[in-house]
Structure 1
Amino acid sequence: MQIQNKWNRAMIDLVFPRRCPICDEVMPYGAKGICGKHELLPYVTEPTCMKCGKSLDDEELEYCADCRTHIRSFERAYPVFRYVEPVASSVLAIKYHNKREYVEYYGSLVAERIRKAGLAERLQIILPVPVHRSKLRKRGYNQAELLADVVGRRLDIPVDNGHLLRVSDTTPQKELSPLERANNIKQALEVRALPAEWKTVLLIDDIYTTGATVQACTEALQEAGVEQVYVGVICIGEGR
Structure 2
Amino acid sequence: MAGWSRLLDWLLPPRCGGCGAVGAWLCAGCRDRVRRLEEPLCRRCGRELEHAGISCGCRARLRCLSRLRSVAAYEGPLERAIHRFKYAGWQALSPALAGLLAEAVGREVGVRPETQLVPVPLHPRRLRQRGYNQAELLVGELRHRLRLPRPAGRLIRVRDTPPQVGLDRLRRRGNVDGAFQWQGPRLAGAAILLVDDVATTGATLESCAAALKAGGAGQVTAVTLARVDV
- The secondary structure found in structure 2 opposite 1:9 is helix
- The secondary structure found in structure 1 opposite 2:198 is strand
- The secondary structure found in structure 1 opposite 2:222 is strand
1:51 aligns with 2:52: no
Equivalence for 1:191: 182
Give, in whole Å, the separation in 2 of the partners of 1:118 and 1:173: 26
Give, in whole Å, the separation in 1 of the partners of 2:19 and 2:151: 32
What is the root-mean-square deviation in Å for CA atoms of aligned residues?
A: 2.1
Q: 1:206 to 1:38 in 2, by over 3 A?
A: closer
Please give the residue correspondences for 1:13-28 in structure 2 after superposition, counting only pairs within 5 Å: 13-27=9-23
Equivalence for 2:116: 125
- The secondary structure found in structure 1 opposite 2:181 is strand
- Aligned sequence identity (%): 32
1:213 aligns with 2:204: yes
1:64 aligns with 2:56: yes
Gaps of 5+ in 2: none
- 4+ aligned runs moved over 6 Å, structure 1: none
Give, in whole Å, the separation in 1 of the partners of 2:35 and 2:96: 15
Q: 1:111 to 1:38 in 2, by over 3 A?
A: closer
For 1:217, give the aligned amino acid: C
Judge conservation of contact 1:130–1:164 (CA < 8 Å) in 2: yes
Matched residue pairs, number? Answer: 230
Give, in whole Å, the separation in 2 of the partners of 1:114 and 1:58: 24
Q: 1:236 to 1:135 in 2, by over 3 A?
A: same
- The secondary structure found in structure 1 opposite 2:33 is coil
Equivalence for 2:86: 95
- The secondary structure found in structure 2 opposite 1:147 is helix
Equivalence for 2:131: 140
Q: 1:88 to 1:161 in 2, by over 3 A?
A: farther
Q: Structure 1 residues 6-15 or 69-78, which shifts more? A: 69-78
